[in-house]
Amino acid sequence: MTVRPELRDLPQLRLRPGAPVGLYLHVPFCLTRCGYCDFNTYTPAELGGVNPDAWLAALSAELQRAGALLDHPEVATVFVGGGTPSLLGGDRMTVMLDAVRTAFPLAGDAEVTTEANPESTSPEFFATLRTAGYTRISLGMQSVAPRVLAVLDRVHSPGRAAAAAGEARAAGFDHVSLDLIYGTPGETDEDLLASVETAIAAEVDHVSAYGLIVEEGTALARRIRRGELPAPDDDVLAARYELVDARLTDAGFHWYEVSNWARPGGECRHNLGYWDGGQWWGAGPGAHGFVGDVRWWNVKHPNAYAHALDGGRLPVAGFETLTDETRHTEEVMLALRLRRGLALDRLDAAERARADTAVAAGLAVVEDRRLVLTARGRLLADGVVRDLLG
């Protein structure tokens, strides 16, 4: 069956001078669907005939169109996400990065990151990626507790993520990250501490830790609705966050974004581009882009995505042009999540008064004319933002 997407033509895109340009490449393939995941991913049974080589050809075509449309700006960061990019194997991931270089010039110090599932990696895989020019690996660890991995429907063994991190470092990667999830039903403090200790012992320079969010439409949400599992508890999530923060801080990591900790120099520059209001082209099924004041998103299904590009069209499903008010709201929301905080001169008089209230409540401090969340403020970051914006 041919999938015919409803396409939208983008308005004229004008790069904002001085704002770095990044690329996000979305790989929509997974072997299985994790119970908590609501990302735009597809298992082999759901693909309807789309294969990785056809997807890669379509992605290369989109990159060529994007490069020409933006007049080939220098790219500072590339992030390959998914899905499970490592399922492509080292050779296809080399071809993908070559397609980027054909469409865009890369900065000499470009950060090139890929996500990877520990079970679909090997020493040879990491060596191939390092030779190709990748500079950073982000591994999905989630937990080392078997019962937690089982609830999350993760297929890797408890020790595999740390072993993969060691293989990546041995292949020459200076920047390796491990991702954790805390607050899974059935998890204990001891389970989480064991996961954090394993990440520290793996000698990575970056750790991300996210509280479990139960997304509607996922298998996990259905299990909780049926009463098979309890819903995550907000107080438990807060306590687990404090546990992660304290142990990573003691080990020499610093928080630089509410959910991210790094050793000096280990921060993810691509993600900082999102939080700092940068601009990027999102390529692949369902990917989002943001250039100038225009944000857009691609059609989701790989068939529709490939069909659009085969027809000489960009695979854009929709777009929005951000107003000054929307841009300000997003600046406040994103900057406050960062350790360096939000410049006070970006706030109007009413917002400054509300910032004073947050400081008086112990939710933020002022450092070098910037509003920075305290440890307690990080636990209530969304509420602080809402109150600040009024």
Work out whether strand 175-182 and strand 136-142 pair parallel, antiparallel, or are unpaired.
parallel
* The token pair that represents 228 in the structure block: 């098979």
* The token pair that represents 169 in the structure block: 């470092």
- When pLDDT is averaged across residues 196-211 and rounded to a whole number, the result is 97
Give the DSSP H or E segment for 294.
strand 294-298
- pLDDT, tens digit, 9 for 90 and up, residues 172-192: 999 999 999 999 999 999 999
Q: By the 8 A CB rule, do 364 and 387 touch?
A: no
pLDDT score for 162: 96
- Percent of the chain at pLDDT > 70 equals 96
* The token pair that represents 31 in the structure block: 């072997």
- pLDDT, tens digit, 9 for 90 and up, residues 268-310: 999 999 999 899 999 999 999 999 999 999 999 998 999 999 9
Q: State CA 92 to chain mean position distance.
A: 21
pLDDT-based confidence at residue 49 (cuts at 50, 70, 90): low
Q: Would the pLDDT of 376 be above 60? A: yes
* The token pair that represents 330 in the structure block: 């997003």
CA atoms in the 13 A half-sphere facing the CB of 34: 27
CATH no. for 21-276: 3.20.20.70
- When pLDDT is averaged across residues 94-116 and rounded to a whole number, the result is 98
- The rounded distance, in Å, linking the Cα atoms of 203 and 118 is 16
pLDDT-based confidence at residue 110 (cuts at 50, 70, 90): very high
Instruction: Quote the mean pLDDT of the chain.
Output: 93
* The token pair that represents 269 in the structure block: 């520059």
Domain ranges of the chain: 21-276, 337-389
Q: By the 8 A CB rule, do 93 and 134 touch?
A: yes
pLDDT-based confidence at residue 2 (cuts at 50, 70, 90): very low
- pLDDT, tens digit, 9 for 90 and up, residues 238-276: 999 999 999 999 999 999 999 999 999 999 999 999 999
The β-bridge partners of 338 are 257
The 3-state DSSP class for residue 278 equals: coil
Q: Which of 318, 265, 387 is nearest to 5 (CA)?
A: 318
The pTM of this model reads 0.94
pLDDT score for 339: 98
pLDDT-based confidence at residue 5 (cuts at 50, 70, 90): low
